[in-house]
Structure 1
């Protein structure tokens, strides 16, 4: 009897994770469409700029600290650089390069939410991450906001992937 109860609990938890992934996949799909179509308003609706700025700042400081000569300077400059990065790098055209890493070009048909949900992984803290392949490392992190919309809130990829297209 104990095994049956544990199995039912495990099944319920798996179902909750799947529902959460599918819920997030709808917003990830909308973000991919906004990136593909260079739709700034739709992109902004699916991005948590404050969270991304905070993460970029922390990563800039961490990178600066790797070089002992720049550690203190990086800590001083990181907030201004993160603010600048938040305004210039958090744009559909910049994230198009990240989408291309996933295999989504302007010519690629964006898969539906059900297919996208297969590349999403629930994190222990309630967030969802997008991976390039099942069980791969996280690249994009999504957090559910108070309005029940999942927003891009973190970028785990190489910071050098975020660059303006020239």
Structure 2
């Protein structure tokens, strides 16, 4: 009886690991397409693999967090809360573009002077991030880019601006 339980538990573990590997390999093609679009400043390719609403939502949430950290009763907290949505929209338009993500693409080896990483190499840089999402990270590094499956396409839905060292091109 105990052996059956262990075998059943092992089978469930292998199934879950296989699903995670399939998701990572499946996502790798779209992650590759996004990173190529970033490297080549291809706005249409970039937009096809980015969920602007999710990224703007992340920017808005970050602005709200900053506002909440102010002293209670601070008049600027109320102003920041009212302006968070419009500011996130403006910031989203300014920041959610291929040029802003060049540092992240370079980090993953997408530079004009190097051969492009293969799908298996990309899949190995992805790890499950919960809720069916995957994140791009090198070895034990931080999750820089987070991807979520939307229909048949994996799209960028989150990022860590500090980890990715994102900046505007000047």
Q: Within the alignment, does 1:120 sit opposite 2:123 as a pair?
A: no
Instruction: Say which of 43, 47, 52 aligns to 1:49.
Output: 52
- How many pairs are equivalent? 164
- Equivalent residue for 1:153? 157
SS at match of 1:151: strand
TM-score, reference length from structure 2? 0.87
SS at match of 2:60: helix
Structure 1 unaligned residues grouped into runs of 5+: none
Q: CA deviation at 1:157?
A: 3.2
Q: CA deviation at 1:10?
A: 1.1
- Equivalent residue for 2:20? 17
- Equivalent residue for 1:60? 63
Alignment root-mean-square deviation, CA? 1.9
- Equivalent residue for 2:147? 142
Instruction: Say which of 157, 164, 169 aligns to 1:165.
Output: 169
Structure 2 unaligned residues grouped into runs of 5+: none
8 Å CA contact 1:27–1:150 kept in 2: the answer is yes
TM-score, reference length from structure 1? 0.89
SS at match of 1:152: strand
CA distance in 2, matches of 1:74, 1:91: 25
Instruction: Say which of 3, 7, 21 aligns to 2:6.
Output: 3
Q: 4+ residue stretches of structure 1 with deviation over 6 A?
A: none
SS at match of 1:6: helix
Find the structure with the greater CA-based Rg. Answer: 2
